[in-house]
């Protein structure tokens, strides 16, 4: 049943798939525009700019302005992909996201580049670890965290087709592909993708943590612990059914995310469990402003590794 007894060594920066897909979408649909904040390079928009110079609106270093401008473009019939580093998009422009995008119900795709701790040693000001909490708190805003390039592209297809207000993380820290070969679509809105049917423990992960959860699943299997991995690529609305099923069929859940524990994926899962099927759970995330260090160093520092997930799982079921 386990399609991922081993996770591939080849890893990807999801911004590459993002920019290829954005160009393809823009070729097919003249309503698609990109809006950015002096972030052409960091959002991997160079090729888009060369192909569609008029359809790239770079407002300069001005995130509040950027999101407001996107709302005006949406009002004028366009579909803006707003591309900016996650911390500044979600943090600086929160009120614009709330009032101008979500409350106004515009079809805008807010693309949070280099999220989590992808900016490593640049430090906490540049870490986007609160974004899932902040964005989840806003009504009428879907929150997506694709875990690999295939999911990133499929989520973008869905975003355009749906016309919804959307916040989406686009990963920079390299990840392996986690999409099982037998899936028709890599991403289904509002559905958790489950790998394995282990009944001892459920490993609930998102983004960069999904491949690490799959590795943990293999580590645990060697110890005779049967785990299932839940890849949550739609944080909001949460697929409650799959969470409740996992709670009923296992002895507990480990929830892992590259973000704070207050209000993100873990909090969403906790609410669902508490209301429907209280279960044992352990929450892994970023528990303080990070010290100086690279992304890998920091993921290790906070126990956001295959080993960290496996250890937490052993404690839960042991």
38 binds ligand TPP (CB under 6 A): yes
127 binds ligand TPP (CB under 6 A): no
Binding partner selected for residue 20 from another protein, ligand TPP, none, CB under the kind-specific 5 to 8 Å limit: none
- Beta-bridged to residue 33, according to DSSP, are 80
Q: Where are the beta strands (DSSP E) in the chain?
A: 11-12, 32-36, 56-58, 79-85, 109-113, 142-144, 166-170, 175-176, 193-195, 201-205, 227-231, 234-236, 253-256, 281-284
Minimum separation from the CB atom of position 190 to another protein (A): 33
Task: Supply the DSSP symbol for 197.
Answer: -
Burial class (CB in 10 A: 0-12, 13-18, 19+), 91: middle
| C-beta separation of 131 from 94 below 8 A | no
Binding partner selected for residue 123 from another protein, ligand TPP, none, CB under the kind-specific 5 to 8 Å limit: another protein
Near another protein by CB under 8 A, which window of 39-47, 100-108, 222-230, 305-313? 39-47
292 binds another protein (CB under 8 A): yes
Q: What share of the chain is helix, strand, coil (3-state, %, to 5)?
A: 40, 20, 40
Binding partner selected for residue 19 from ligand TPP, another protein, none, CB under the kind-specific 5 to 8 Å limit: none
Minimum separation from the CB atom of position 304 to ligand TPP (A): 24
Q: Which of residues 77-106 bind another protein (CB under 8 A)?
A: 87-88, 91-92
Which of 119/302 has CB closer to ligand TPP? Answer: 119
Q: Which of residues 48-107 bind ligand TPP (CB under 6 A)?
A: 61, 63, 88, 92
Q: How far is CA 139 from CA 41, 98, 105, in A?
A: 31, 8, 10
CB atoms within 10 A of CB 6: 10
Picking from 72, 58, 65, 124, the residue whose alpha carbon sits closest to that of residue 96 is 65
- The helix/strand/coil state of 28 is helix
What does the per-residue mask of binding to another protein show for 108-147, with x meaning CB under 8 A? -----------x-xxx-xx---------------------
Task: Supply the DSSP symbol for 7.
Answer: -
Near another protein by CB under 8 A, which window of 34-42, 139-147, 245-253, 257-265? 34-42
The footprint of ligand TPP (CB under 6 A) covers 37-38, 61, 63, 88, 92
The footprint of another protein (CB under 8 A) covers 38-42, 58-62, 64-65, 87-88, 91-92, 119, 121-123, 125-126, 291-294, 297
């Amino acid at each position: 049943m386990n399609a991922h007894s081993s996770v591939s060594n080849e890893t990807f920066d999801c911004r590459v798939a993002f920019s290829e897909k954005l160009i393809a979408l823009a070729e097919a649909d003249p309503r698609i525009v990109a809006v950015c904040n002096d972030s052409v390079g960091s959002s991997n928009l160079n090729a888009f700019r060369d192909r569609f110079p008029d359809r790239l609106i770079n407002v300069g270093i001005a995130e509040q302005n950027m999101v407001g401008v996107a709302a005006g473009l949406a009002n004028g019939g366009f579909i803006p992909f707003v591309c900016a580093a996650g911390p500044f998009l979600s943090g600086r422009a929160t009120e614009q996201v709330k009032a101008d995008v979500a409350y106004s119900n515009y079809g805008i795709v807010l693309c949070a580049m280099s999220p989590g701790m992808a900016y490593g040693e640049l430090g906490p000001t540049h870490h986007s670890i609160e974004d899932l909490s902040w964005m989840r708190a806003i009504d009428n805003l879907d929150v997506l965290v694709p875990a690999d390039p295939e999911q990133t592209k499929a989520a973008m297809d869905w975003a355009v087709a749906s016309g919804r207000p959307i916040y989406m993380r686009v990963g920079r820290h390299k990840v392996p592909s986690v999409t099982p070969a037998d899936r028709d679509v890599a991403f289904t809105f509002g559905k958790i993708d489950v790998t394995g049917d282990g009944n001892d423990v459920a490993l609930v992960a998102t983004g960069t943590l999904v491949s690490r959860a799959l590795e943990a699943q293999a580590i645990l299997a060697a110890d005779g612990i049967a785990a299932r991995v839940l890849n949550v690529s739609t944080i909001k609305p949460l697929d409650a059914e799959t969470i409740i099923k996992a709670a009923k069929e296992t002895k507990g859940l480990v929830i892992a995310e590259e973000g704070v524990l207050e209000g993100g994926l873990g909090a969403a899962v906790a609410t669902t469990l508490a209301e429907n099927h209280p279960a044992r759970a352990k929450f892994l995330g970023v528990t303080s402003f990070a010290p100086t260090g690279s992304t890998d160093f920091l993921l290790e520092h906070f126990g956001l590794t295959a080993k960290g997930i496996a250890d937490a799982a052993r404690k839960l079921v042991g």
